[in-house]
Structure 1
Amino acid sequence: MENHNPPQLGNQLCFPLYVIAKEITGLYRPFLDELDITYPQYLVMMVLWEKDGLTVNQIGEKLYLDSGTLTPLLKRLEAKGILIRKRKKEDERVVEIFLQQSGKDLQQKACQIPAKMQEKLNLSSEDLLELKETVQKILNKIQK
């Protein structure tokens, strides 16, 4: 059965997801300003704190970003002295990313951010976990 009514903003799933992503990213801004990094740079840093020495493509896969988006971001982090980009000797088309000491030092400062965000959102750990699991379930269905 077809519905010929125009879509209404209040009935859409995409709109509240879009707004919450934008608003939460904005809530991160003051904490990330203290580290002198942007939210996308923070995402890259979290990936590298988990495993240093990844290739640009590996980072892109984890963050759902293509190399055209990721490369300028990595260049800015390199200009700040946070990381270094090195071409593999075996295949110069492949660029590996390594944290500099200042990038490793940022990890300690960033450890406080999740707790500060939870406090700012005023949600319990259980609520946050439930929300994350629901969003992850949707993401998994989209990726199939």
Structure 2
Amino acid sequence: MALAPPDMLCFALHSAAHAMHAAYAPLLEPLGLTYPQYLALSALAARGDQTVSELGADLRLESNTLTPLLKRMEAAGWLSRRRDDRDERQVRLSLTDEGRALAERAAGVPRAFGEKTGLDLAEITDLRDILSALRDRLKPARG
């Protein structure tokens, strides 16, 4: 007998992802950020200067998805893109002063989202780790 969607893990993950995006929207809208822009901004703020390839690996996005996003962020004045001095095939990314200021303003978003979940920090950490392990089993990171 087939399972109904509410009984399927895939449906629970899919519907939770939609709810998560909806919960993030009011937190990011005042900052002028989309969810993918927020992730890219956060990754650059956390790790600093990096290549498009490195950022893509962190965010698990292909360059054909990431490049238009980065161009919009560059046009907004949040980051700069330049060819790597050692390997001109690579494009390096760094936050501008405006991008760093925006990242500082966005620093409270994880706490605000955590409060919306109703979970404590240990539960959030456990859930993140379980979902990350599941993701890695299903689709390993590009290498």
Residues 42-89 of structure 1: CA deviation (Å, up to 9, x unaligned) = 111111011222111111011110000000000000010000110124
d(CA) in 1 for partners of 2:36, 2:3: 32
**Which residue does the alignment assign to 1:11?**
7
Alpha-carbon offset, residue 110 of structure 1 = 1.2
d(CA) in 2 for partners of 1:111, 1:63: 18
Q: 2:23 aligns with which of 22, 27, 52?
A: 27
> Secondary structure of the equivalent of 2:116?
helix
> How many percent identity over aligned positions?
35
1:130 and 2:126 correspond: yes
**Which residue does the alignment assign to 1:71?**
67
**Which residue does the alignment assign to 1:45?**
41
Alpha-carbon offset, residue 7 of structure 1 = 4.2
d(CA) in 2 for partners of 1:33, 1:10: 30
> Secondary structure of the equivalent of 2:6?
helix
> Secondary structure of the equivalent of 1:112?
helix
Q: 1:141 aligns with which of 131, 134, 137?
A: 137
**Which residue does the alignment assign to 1:58?**
54
Q: Is there any run of 5+ residues in structure 1 with no aligned partner, and where?
A: none
How many residues matched?
140
d(CA) in 1 for partners of 2:88, 2:133: 38
d(CA) in 2 for partners of 1:124, 1:80: 35
Higher Cα radius of gyration: 1
Residue type matched to 1:112 in 2?
G
Residue type matched to 1:121 in 2?
T
Residue type matched to 2:2 in 1?
P
TM-score, length-scaled by structure 1: 0.89
